[in-house]
Amino acid sequence: MPKFQAPKGMRDILPEDQVYWEKIKQVVKNLAKDYGFGFLETPILEEVDLFIKGTGQYTDIVEKEMYSLRTKGGDQLTLRPEFTPAVIRAYLENGLSRLPHPVKLFSLGPIFRYERKQKGRYRQSYQANFEVIGEKDPILDAQLIQLFFSISKDLGLKNLITQINSIGCSRCRPNYRRMLVSFYRSKKKHLCSDCQKRAQRNLLRLLDCKELKCIKIAENVPQIIDHLCDDCHSHFRSVLEYLDEMEIPYILNPHLVRGLDYYTKTVFEIWPDDEEGRQIALAGGGRYDGLIKLLGGKDMSGVGFAIGLDRMINLIQERSIKINTRTKPIIFLIQLGELGKKKSLKLFEELRRSGLGVASSFSRNTMQAQLKRADKMGARFALILGQKEALDETIIIRDMNSSSQETVPLSKVIAKIKKRLKK
């Protein structure tokens, strides 16, 4: 056992896994741009109060999961446990409200939650987060779900399903809450200890408890979609119609409430549609029509979601999906002798600049060892620059498939390779 290890629930992302991370970030960035999102980076540390107010004082995140610290100057900061309140803070602080609305912002980076260890659950994980600020229209709720499915498609991920629900608004929810209070009144003592606490402060969360005895009780609970106000009802109906229109797979889950306090109306999660994926949501989000005002802005709507990148990559690997990357070098540059070695540094840079993928070991290895390495890396061509070639200003192009070799002038090598690639 090494003397030092990464903190519990946190891990190194090794070079061999970077192809997945590069690919997913590239796909997310391309699609975010296509859907009109501007890229926003926020600090990893924020004021603790931002999440107490934004995420909610009695949520698991705030009660149990934040990594908080006090600076030498006495500020109370925390490693961001999610993006949403931070994005709204940045929107308000930087006067982004002067932009035409809706303002669409997208962020990418780590979040930190002190969670219990479980498959697919990390204390440092990575999210791609999307927020649309200042638009009530239900088409945006549906478009965000469509964006998720476009991203998954580009990654080769199929068999995913949206779970969706509406949890009402400040007009209809109090009434539903009262119904829950009376439903649970006689059943309180049969709930798990967490739910007994939730019954005081975070009633909706009783619906999605994972304890068997609480699931059993919740089976008969009145469903919120039967008690929505007209506005929430028609909003939800429209979202579902848009999803039908786009043929996006979804199921209604009346017990989906989400663990964050700011949601109103639509809430959704996206899950793998297979047995092994049951416990692992790949993405989650919803509408938050009161949050902007709560954090000091105007009374305006918002809707957003975040994708768990670690979980997406785990699923890609579990399902053995081939990731199409261009990281394989097209060329492996082999150099032999002092003069060959000297010239190879400049040539390496020229090849790299020409846009051809190039690799080299730049070491004192023998020709055989370097060829073996080129083969292992899957290079199409090896370029061999020995003492003789360096003196003659030539180079050998070796086709790694056929092993045929051709000597060409050094000044023409890039053009020659490009011509061969075109064939």
Q: Which of 59, 78, 129, 264 binds ligand HAM (CB under 6 A)?
A: 129
Question: Using CB under 6 A as the criterion, what x/- string covers residues 271-290 for binding ligand HAM?
Answer: ----------xxxxxx----
Q: Which of 20, 37, 106, 122 binds ligand HAM (CB under 6 A)?
A: 122
The DSSP symbol for 409 reads: E
Q: Which of 59, 78, 127, 253 binds ligand HAM (CB under 6 A)?
A: 127
Question: In the bound complex, what is the minimum distance in angstroms from residue 303's beta carbon to ligand HAM?
Answer: 7
In angstroms, give the least distance from the CB of 185 to ligand HAM.
30
Residue 215 C-beta: closest distance to ligand HAM, Å? 20
Please give the Cα distance from 324 to 20 (Å, whole number).
9
Binding part of the chain for ligand HAM, among 77-85, 134-142, 194-202, 395-403 by CB under 6 A, reads: 77-85
Burial of 401 (0-12, 13-18, 19+ CB in 10 A): exposed
Judged by CB, which is closer to ligand HAM: 120, or 297?
120
User: What token pair was written down for 405?
Assistant: 């070799």
Query: How many other C-beta atoms are found inside a 10 Å radius of the C-beta of residue 152?
Result: 21
Q: Which stretch binds ligand HAM (CB under 6 A): 120-128, 149-157, 318-326, 368-376?
A: 120-128
- Report CA torsion sign: 292, 298, 304, 309: negative
In sequence order, which residues have a C-beta less than 8 Å from that of residue 279 and are 6 or more positions away?
Answer: 118, 119, 120
| Position 348, amino acid | F
Cβ-contact 256, 285 below 8 angstroms? no
The DSSP code for 377 is: H
If the CB atoms of residues 83 and 332 are measured against ligand HAM, the closer one turns out to be 83
344: CB partners within 8 A, 6+ apart: 333, 335, 360, 362, 385
Bridge partner list, 168: none
Least CB distance to ligand HAM at residue 284 (A): 3
383, with CB counted inside 10 A (0-12, 13-18, 19+), is buried
Q: Which is nearer to ligand HAM, 277 or 286 (CB)?
A: 286
Site string for ligand HAM, 290-309 (x = CB under 6 A): --------------xxx-x-
Q: Does 83 bind ligand HAM (CB under 6 A)?
A: yes
What minimum distance in Å lies between the beta carbon of 71 and ligand HAM?
A: 25
Among 42, 78, 125, 165, binds ligand HAM (CB under 6 A): 125
Total site size for ligand HAM, rule CB under 6 A:
24
Distance CA 113, CA 80 (A): 8
Q: Is 253 in the site for ligand HAM (CB under 6 A)?
A: no
Distance of alpha carbon 38 from alpha carbon 130, whole angstroms: 10
* Closest CB 48 distance from ligand HAM, rounded Å: 17
If we measure between CA atoms, which residue out of 27, 71, 75 comes closest to residue 49?
75
Smallest distance from ligand HAM to CB 41, Å: 16
Q: Is the CB of 138 or the CB of 286 nearer to ligand HAM? A: 286
Q: Does 84 bind ligand HAM (CB under 6 A)?
A: yes
Binding of residue 228 to ligand HAM (CB under 6 A): no
Sheet holding 45-47, edge to edge: 45-47, 76-79, 68-70
Query: Minimum distance between the CB of residue 346 and ligand HAM, rounded to whole angstroms?
Result: 46
Q: Name the minimum Å distance from CB 126 to ligand HAM.
A: 8
Is residue 56 a contact point for ligand HAM (CB under 6 A)? no
102 touching ligand HAM, by CB under 6 A? no
List Cβ neighbours of 47 (8 Å cut-off, separation of 6 or more): 75, 76, 77, 78
Told to check if 267 binds ligand HAM by CB under 6 A, we report no
Q: Judged by CB, which is closer to ligand HAM: 120, or 337?
A: 120
Sheet order of strands, 394-399 included: 358-360, 331-335, 381-385, 394-399, 405-409
**Piece in contact with ligand HAM (CB under 6 A), picked from 22-30, 66-74, 78-86, 243-251:** 78-86
Cα dist from 78 to 48, 51, 68, whole Å = 5, 9, 4
3-class DSSP state of 226: helix
Q: Which residues form the interface with ligand HAM (CB under 6 A)?
A: 82-84, 113, 115, 120-122, 125, 127, 129, 131, 281-286, 304-306, 308, 310-311
